[in-house]
């Protein structure tokens, strides 16, 4: 941050300098004065030195001949003179230019700084030597069609891991997700650039039919995905989501999927650990995980974060699938 | 035998072998039952509805019955456990805050100034 600020202030100074040169016609008024002084000095010199002085004189007048900037018209009245003296080298035009340039730069640097910061964080989570979040997976959508990681490419995906028999957190989060979907789609003016996905962690009970009925109540645009126990375990592992679904469940037996985690971890730890589980994962068109939208986010703050990423992506001119 | 699908045998099975989850209305009903029950526990100064099951059933007989009818067994257990967990969590956070405040006070009295 300090470096960009320094850069901004440097540019500011440059802007001021430019403005003063614009007004530098004034300094030409000093020239005749200099000429006069050199002349009087010359008079004091000995005869032998005289030619050199003359040289300077010719040089000065020659420079004057080459100068393209015209002398500023001399003030004709006392009023004009007084006005010129009171405003100094600044006129209202220069002031306006100064203020506008300054304001423009401040805005530009703020926007650019925020963008670079987001990019840096997004790059960090792709980072070298860090566990990569995301990867190939194989699931089926609600029509029984295969859905793989390839289907995420070319758009921003918003992934939530949950299960339909979830007592309170998932329904709350899905209501929030529905709000976010509408807000983002309205702002992006593009229904296809943003793909909300619900992946069940309870494939034994959450068949396509159950999922369809369940998701319908929240938002018709949410893509529900399910698969075999192994497939679900794999995708949860890829996205570093805590997975504790019992493997062998007697038919009709009632169970909860993940909530054992709540009771192993008390106090502050609980919130930190459960974060990823009940978070929406934002995944960019290159299938890289960029952001975690947690329970602490409101639909408004989440929409803002997502829109920033989508706009950055577009501004960088990267392709986005809009089919 | 309640009015909810899961308490009446196989009717909660979807045609493709899944298990139909409670919908928005039954969730709301369950949460309402839970809130009534917890309000009753609060009134009677009971924290843990599992440990003090007997006492809770005695003092909040009506609420317990409603709660258990509106929610599945696992949900009932989950909500009771969550109540204890959240209580402990809030207590812990409060304790840490108090300790921090105490520490700041001590430091200030020994001449330290927050920057």
Structure confidence by residue, pLDDT tens digits, A42-77 = 444 444 444 444 454 554 554 555 555 555 556 667
Model confidence at A289, pLDDT cuts 50, 70, 90, reads: confident
Could you tell me which of B93, B91, B66, B67 has the C-alpha nearest to residue B79? B67
Mean pLDDT of chain B: 85
Per-residue pLDDT for A6 more than 80? no
Cβ atoms of residues A193 and A313 within 8 Å: no
Is residue B100 in some structural domain? no
Q: Report the domain count for chain B.
A: 1
Q: What is the pLDDT of residue A278?
A: 60
Is residue B95 in a domain?
A: no
Q: Is residue B104 part of a domain?
A: no
The arithmetic mean of pLDDT across residues A122-126, rounded, is 64
Let me know: does B35 contact B17? Beta carbons within 8 Å: no
Q: Is residue B79 part of a domain?
A: yes
More confident residue, A184 or A127: A184
Q: Using the predicted structure, report yes or no on whether residue A29 has a pLDDT greater than 80.
A: no
Rounded mean pLDDT of A205-220?
A: 91
Q: Do A268 and B14 touch (CB under 8 A)?
A: no
In a domain, B106, yes or no: no
Q: What one-character-per-residue DSSP string does A265-320 give?
A: S-HHHHHHHHHHHT-EEEE-TTS-EEEEE-TT--HHHHHHHHHHHHHHHHHTT---
Q: How far apart are CA A138 and CA A107, in angstroms?
A: 45
Give the pLDDT band (50/70/90) at residue B1. very low
pLDDT for A34: 42
pLDDT at A249 (0 to 100): 63
pLDDT at A304 over 60: yes
pLDDT exceeds cutoff 80 at A142: yes
For A139, phi then psi, to 5°, come to -135, 180
Q: How many CB atoms lie within 10 A of CB A201?
A: 23
Mean pLDDT of A205-215: 90
- Percent of chain A beyond pLDDT 90? 13
Pick the more confident residue, B48 or A120: B48
User: What are the tokens at A270?
Assistant: 């609980």
Q: Report the range of poorest mean pLDDT among A16-30, A195-209, A227-241, B14-28.
A: A16-30
Query: According to the model, what pLDDT value does residue A246 have?
Result: 67
The pLDDT assigned to B15 comes to: 77
pLDDT at site A38: 43
Between residues 12 and 51 of chain B, which touch chain A (CB distance below 8 Å)? 14-24, 27, 30-31
Please indicate if any CB of chain B lies within 8 Å of the CB of A168: yes
pLDDT band at A204 (very low <50, low <70, confident <90, very high): confident
Determine the Cα–Cα distance for residues A119 and A204; give it in Å rounded to an integer.
39
Span of A52-66, A270-284, B73-87 with lowest mean pLDDT: A52-66
pLDDT of the residue at A69: 55
Q: Token pair 């000065």 is at which residue?
A: A60
Overall average pLDDT of the A249-265 stretch: 52
Q: How many CB atoms lie within 10 A of CB A107?
A: 10
| Residue A86 Cα, gap to closest chain B Cα (Å) | 45
Cβ separation A171–B24 shorter than 8 A: yes
Any domain includes B72: yes
Confidence of residue B34 (pLDDT cuts 50, 70, 90): very high
Query: With contact defined as beta carbons under 8 Å apart, do A113 and A4 qualify?
Result: yes
Confidence of residue A271 (pLDDT cuts 50, 70, 90): very low
> Among A66-75, A84-93, A174-183, A308-317, which stretch is predicted with the lowest mean pLDDT?
A66-75
In angstroms, what separates the C-alpha of B114 from chain A's closest C-alpha?
24
Give the closest of B20, B74, B89 to A255, CB-based.
B74
Residue A208 and residue B74: Cβ atoms within 8 Å? no
Q: Report the range out of A93-102, A109-118, B104-113 with the highest average pLDDT.
A: A93-102
**Would you state the pLDDT for residue A161?**
85
Q: Looking at the DSSP assignment, which residues form a beta bridge with residue A224? A: A198
- Report yes or no on B107 lying in a domain: no
Reported as a pLDDT band with limits 50, 70 and 90, residue B86 is confident
Q: Higher-confidence residue: A24 or A104? A: A104
Domains and CATH numbers, chain A: 2-101 (no CATH), 134-315 (3.40.30.10)
Q: Which domain holds residue B14?
A: 5-88
| Residues of chain B contacting residue A256, judged by C-beta atoms under 8 Å apart | 74-75, 78
Please check whether residue B94 lies inside any domain of the structure.
no
- Residue A262 pLDDT exceeds 50: no
Share of chain A above pLDDT 70, in %: 56
B74 touches chain A (CB under 8 A): yes
DSSP code of residue A89: T
Chain B hits for A205, Cβ within 8 Å? 18-19, 21
Average pLDDT estimate for B13-31: 86
């Amino acid at each position: 941050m300090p470096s960009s600020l320094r850069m901004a202030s440097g540019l500011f100074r440059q802007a001021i300098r430019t403005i003063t040169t614009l007004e530098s016609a004034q300094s030409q008024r000093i020239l005749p004065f200099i000429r006069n002084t050199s002349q009087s000095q010359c008079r004091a010199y000995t005869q032998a030195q005289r030619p050199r002085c003359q040289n300077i004189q010719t040089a000065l007048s020659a420079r004057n001949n080459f100068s393209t900037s015209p002398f500023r018209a001399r003030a004709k009245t006392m009023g004009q003179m007084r006005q010129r003296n009171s405003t100094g080298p600044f006129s209202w035009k220069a002031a306006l230019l100064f203020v506008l340039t300054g304001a423009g730069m401040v805005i530009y640097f703020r926007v650019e700084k925020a963008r670079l910061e987001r990019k840096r964080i997004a790059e960090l989570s792709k980072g070298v030597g860090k566990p990569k979040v995301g990867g190939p997976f194989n699931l089926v959508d609600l029509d029984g069609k295969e859905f793989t990681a390839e289907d995420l490419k070319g758009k921003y995906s918003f992934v939530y891991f949950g299960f339909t028999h979830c007592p309170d957190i998932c329904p709350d989060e899905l209501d929030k997700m529905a709000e976010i979907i509408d807000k983002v789609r309205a702002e992006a003016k593009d229904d296809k650039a943003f793909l909300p996905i619900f992946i069940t962690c309870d494939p034994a009970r959450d068949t396509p039919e159950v999922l369809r009925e369940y998701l319908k109540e929240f938002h018709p645009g949410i893509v529900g995905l399910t698969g075999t126990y192994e497939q679900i375990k794999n995708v949860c592992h890829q996205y570093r989501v805590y997975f504790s679904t019992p493997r062998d469940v007697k038919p009709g037996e009632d169970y909860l999927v993940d909530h054992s985690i709540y009771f192993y971890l008390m106090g502050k730890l609980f919130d930190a650990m459960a974060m990823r589980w009940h978070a929406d994962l934002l995944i960019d068109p290159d299938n890289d995980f960029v952001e975690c939208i947690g329970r602490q986010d409101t639909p408004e703050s989440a929409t803002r974060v997502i829109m920033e990423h989508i706009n950055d992506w577009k501004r960088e001119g990267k392709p986005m699938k809009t089919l | 035998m309640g009015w909810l699908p899961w308490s009446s045998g196989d009717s909660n099975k979807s045609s493709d072998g899944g298990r139909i989850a409670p919908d928005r209305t039954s969730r709301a009903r369950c949460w309402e039952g839970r809130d009534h029950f917890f309000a009753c526990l609060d009134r009677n100064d009971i924290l843990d509805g599992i440990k003090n099951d007997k006492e809770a059933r005695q003092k909040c007989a009506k609420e317990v019955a409603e709660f258990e009818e509106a929610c599945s067994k696992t949900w009932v257990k989950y909500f009771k456990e969550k109540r204890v967990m959240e209580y402990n969590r809030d207590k812990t956070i409060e304790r840490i805050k108090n300790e921090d405040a105490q520490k700041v006070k001590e430091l200030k009295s020994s001449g330290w100034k927050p920057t």
